[in-house]
Structure 1
Amino acid sequence: MSSMPESGTDEPTVRAVLRRNFADTVLAGLATFGRALRIGSQSVRIGASDAIRLRFEMHETLEQAWFLIKVTAVPSILMAIPFGVILSTQVGNIVSQLGANSMIGAAGGLGVIKQGAPMAAGILLGGAGAAAIAADLGARTVREEVDAMRVMGVDPIQRLVVPRIAAMMLVAPLLNLLIIVVGIAAGYGVAVAALDVTPGSYWDSFGAFTTSFDVWVSLVKSLLFGFLVVVIACQRGLEAKGGPRGVADGVNAAVVMSVAAITVLNTVVTQVITMFVPMKTA
């Protein structure tokens, strides 16, 4: 008889704890989003001001850009080749049953340009690039270098964040173009060598359905993904605390948040473009 009241009192307690944890998680997520948005807006404002006054950290930007290229160029090629091969193979198996092998070029080109290249570039930058940036800034933060910069009157956003954002914005479209070229070349090789598609029909269908607008959309998406990735990485790095464990947690959070944010943003951008800009033949 005494167990029933205890059970009745436990259920509201459990619900209250779950409700409080859920509310705390939502509020913490909104606070993190607000801090990241503040860092991004400050970086854009400071970077534009430094560029106008000819005080931009160009040397640091080029060093960061070269580092990003070194850690992402080869993996992007290795990712683009199987992506183009798989896309051509899967599409070829479907359209061959319909007797439309010549459409492999259109499907493969649109798939690589509009979805594959920007997503692959964003994931690579969110993995290798975001991890490196978060680790670097996190190590500076736990060693109190960032606090020392503030004491000396040096703005960490201007000195550390802005060059990394500029480097990411420079590398992202270049990486996107590299993945487009390699992916389309790999798909073309499979279509011609394994699916008995003539080179002329492949490029005819590719040129009939792929327009310059698709390439521009792909480049803009890669820029958005790169900006999102670097802002998240910088925010997690500058907020690292607790020694090496805190730096590792910041790196892990930067990678996970970057990939998740890229996936959500790609879905939103794709739906908006599909609604307002229907596909047209070239």
Structure 2
Amino acid sequence: MPELNARPTAVAVLRGNFTGTVLSGLETYGRAMRVGAEAARVGAVDLVRGRLPIKELLGQAWFLITVTAIPGILMAVPFGVIVSAQVGNIVHQLGANSLIGAAGGLGVIKQGAPLATGLLLGGAGAAAIAADLGARTIREEVDALRVMGIDPIERLVVPRVFAMVMIAPLLNILIIAVGVVAGYVVAIVALGVTPGSYWNSFGSFATMTDVWVSLIKSVLFGLLVAVISCQRGLEARGGPRGVADGVNAAVILSVVSIAVINVLITQVVAMFLPTRLA
């Protein structure tokens, strides 16, 4: 009898935990989307009226460059090498070495560069923004802004969102360039592909549409990271421990969101814009 009575209780506890986790996650995303919509509205109004805090925006953009540029280069090299090495070995066994440039280049442009950009921004960028806004929140600086009639979204969130969206495509281009060059070196040195064959196949399959899709993905990833990290920072509670929890949540939510959005975009692009000869 005690075991029979304990089973429904355990099931109820598990169901309650699962439901609470799912609902909490949906509520968090809902609040983040609300912050994003408010930032987009305020940013558009300030842009039209010429009231954007340019100094704060440029400061945030420069900070993001300093924390992501070098790691971006270090991530781009392995991406280019791994794609060329793995795909190149398979293509080499099939006797189609002339396609290594196309496979390696498209792999970096379509997946490697935007994913590396999103992961860098979701790691270093999200942590920095969430920590900064979280520290301001627990020091009651955000409440002080509201008391003075200053909108925290306009003063703190909008510059960071604009800076992240501005830096994301630049970082994406940097990673594409370094990744393609790294793949080229591996193909030439390790796989015996001729330079002309590599660039000819790369130019035959890679199009500007692929580059634009990659840039759009990086911009969406940057926007998503900025909104999530700002929302977690503004909701930090409970002192330094709350700031640490907010930073951790911002990084995890950013990375998971980037992975999900990337799968959806990849499927849509594959349906409407399939790979073809340039």
TM-score by length of 2: 0.99
**Residue of structure 2 aligned with 1:154, choices 142, 150, 159:** 150
Post-superposition Cα deviations, 1:37-75, rounded to whole Å, max 9, x if no partner, equal 000000000000001111111110000000000000000
Whole-angstrom distance in 1 between the partners of 2:186 and 2:10? 58
**Bigger CA radius of gyration:** 1
**1:279 paired residue number:** 275
**1:194 paired residue number:** 190
Post-superposition Cα deviations, 1:68-106, rounded to whole Å, max 9, x if no partner, equal 000000000001011111111111111111111111100
**2:85 paired residue number:** 89
**Correspondence 1:16 to 2:12:** yes
**Correspondence 1:232 to 2:233:** no
Whole-angstrom distance in 2 between the partners of 1:28 and 1:86? 38
Between 1:130-139 and 1:95-104, the stretch displaced more is 95-104
Whole-angstrom distance in 1 between the partners of 2:127 and 2:108? 25
**1:63 paired residue number:** 59
Whole-angstrom distance in 2 between the partners of 1:103 and 1:22? 48
**2:123 paired residue number:** 127
Post-superposition Cα deviations, 1:231-264, rounded to whole Å, max 9, x if no partner, equal 1100110000110010001101111111111001
Whole-angstrom distance in 2 between the partners of 1:204 and 1:82? 23
The RMSD of aligned alpha carbons is 0.7
Superposition pairs of residues 111-122 of structure 1, within 5 angstroms:
111-122=107-118
Unaligned ranges ≥5, structure 2: none
- Structure 1 segments, 4+ long, off by >2 Å, are none
Whole-angstrom distance in 1 between the partners of 2:188 and 2:8? 66
Unaligned ranges ≥5, structure 1: none
TM-score by length of 1: 0.97
Between 1:45-54 and 1:13-22, the stretch displaced more is 13-22
**Residue of structure 1 aligned with 2:176, choices 175, 180, 192:** 180
**Correspondence 1:31 to 2:21:** no
Q: Which amino acid aligns with 2:77?
A: I
**Residue of structure 1 aligned with 2:165, choices 157, 169, 182:** 169
Q: How far apart are 1:278 and its partner, in Å?
A: 1.6
Whole-angstrom distance in 2 between the partners of 1:207 and 1:68? 32
